Structure 1
């Protein structure tokens, strides 16, 4: 097992407000890390730093022993995927979102793979033609999940991905993560104590400071 990410003395301090406070963390390939803490403690910010969506104010972030800002961002996002708590769907239909991962890779749309994934999350083939504005919050969350999993990334950064789901669909997502994504590197922010207990490494963030059990 080798170190995939190294965060060294990472701070994030916009407008003199300290959101991440001297974070030091080594993440190995295959780690399954759950993250909890009060609202506003820095959990989502940590994931966004790892996703290269925001840049630390100071400190060093390495991915595969290379500084993250030296990475080709398109290639990086194919390997490291951030799952938003509030999913952002674009275009008019579900199809617009699920064809996108194929388009950026210049590959032909694989309808059978997409349909199988949709069905895994209790969405049938008819959803491909559904308009985004007609979807519930839980349906949007599941469509976004499918979009990110069509080409499975190496690293999944999950930001409360079950928050808008009922118990049945929450359980489907949980079981998929545990069984189908085994061996992937996963960081999962959750307020759910049952989900938190699933991590083989468990981290709490309070006032921007990290504690590992």
Structure 2
């Protein structure tokens, strides 16, 4: 039996409001450099679980361990540089796309390379003029791709994705998946990805399923 400490350990984590479970107790582990899908019916708590893992919500019961440490004991800034989350309806900030892609560099007191940012846009079929476009003028699919690229400027140890291709057509979904897989291989990044798309999840990668009343997922 391997004694390796998993990158992420979800231990009997649940969440509820009043008497209603938004997430029934669940346990699973994710190893370093592992790519896994998170699936389950509507209302099973997928997004709630992602928010708990991202330290945006505190679990009602149970604990989340990151490299063997309870995330409740970790400095939030340190943790969120290692575990990054991108949601179905992303929150963009500033005035332009450039503001969003430059932000991860600026908080590290570094200057982004404009040509590199243009190359990032091109990887996801986004035109160069989008870099200076106001965020208020972006479509849903553009917002999703910009948010993803923002998360990938400095690839985390663990990337959490919540239906990040829901507003995209099949071709652009394929580009996003390809970029994430390439980044994961290049940077030894683990990925936990919520998706309802059977074509996305039917790639042979591990699938973790949530369902009401489930306590574990394999």
TM over 0.5: yes
Q: How does 1:110-129 map to 2 (within 5 A)?
A: 110-129=113-132
**How large is the Cα RMSD of the aligned pairs?**
1.6
TM-score by length of 2: 0.91
Q: Is the contact between residue 11 and residue 27 of structure 2 (CA under 8 Å) also seen in structure 1?
A: yes
SS at match of 2:30: strand
Aligned to 2:200: 195
SS at match of 1:3: coil
In the TM superposition, residue 194 of structure 1 has moved relative to its aligned partner by: 1.5
Which consecutive unaligned segments of at least 5 residues does structure 1 have? none
Which consecutive unaligned segments of at least 5 residues does structure 2 have? none
Superposition misfits of 4+ residues, deviation over 6 angstroms:
none
Structure 1 CA distance, aligned partners of 2:169 and 2:189?
Answer: 25
SS at match of 2:84: strand
Aligned to 1:69: 72
TM-score by length of 1: 0.93
Q: How many residues align?
A: 213
1:87 aligns with 2:90: yes
Structure 1 CA distance, aligned partners of 2:213 and 2:79?
Answer: 25
Q: 1:122 to 1:35 in 2, by over 3 A?
A: same
Aligned to 1:161: 164
Aligned to 2:139: 136
SS at match of 1:180: helix
Moved more, 21-30 or 159-168: 21-30
Q: How does 1:11-26 map to 2 (within 5 A)?
A: 11-26=14-29
Structure 2 CA distance, aligned partners of 1:196 and 1:212?
Answer: 16
Q: Is the contact between residue 27 and residue 217 of structure 2 (CA under 8 Å) also seen in structure 1?
A: no
In the TM superposition, residue 210 of structure 1 has moved relative to its aligned partner by: 5.3
In the TM superposition, residue 211 of structure 1 has moved relative to its aligned partner by: 5.5
